[in-house]
Amino acid sequence: MMLTHEKVWTKCLKTIAEHVTPQAYKTWFEPVKPIGLNNDSLLIRVPNKFFFEWLEQHYIDLLKLAISKELGPKGRLEYQ
């Protein structure tokens, strides 16, 4: 089965949901949209720069965990 950006992000969200409160999930992860997958890189769209900075400051380890779980140790997340 071929991986798509939607499938990868959906699986990442399942991992993320296990580690954050429902409110944090709704606030910080539901608005994020997957827009592309290029080899080991998942491209996501975030609403604005503040949103990007908040994710990077507060959830980077969790995002890395989720991405590496789905794309392997070389998995990367790119923002737009």
Write the DSSP string, the chain. Answer: ----HHHHHHHHHHHHHTTS-HHHIIIIITT-EEEEEETTEEEEE-S-HHHHHHHHHHSHHHHHHHHHHHH-TT-EEEE-
| Mean pLDDT, range 51-71, rounded to an integer | 96
Confidence of residue 69 (pLDDT cuts 50, 70, 90): very high
What domains are there in the chain, each with its CATH number?
5-79 (3.30.300.180)
Instruction: Write the pLDDT tens digit of every residue in 15-57.
Output: 999 999 999 999 999 999 999 999 899 999 999 999 999 999 9
Query: Residue 10: pLDDT above 70?
Result: yes
> For the whole model, what pTM was predicted?
0.91
Q: What pLDDT was estimated at residue 7?
A: 95
Q: What pLDDT was estimated at residue 5?
A: 94
Which own/partner contact pairs does 57-64 have at CB distance under 8 Å and 24+ positions apart?
58/28, 59/16, 59/20, 59/28, 62/15, 62/16, 62/19, 62/20, 63/12, 63/16
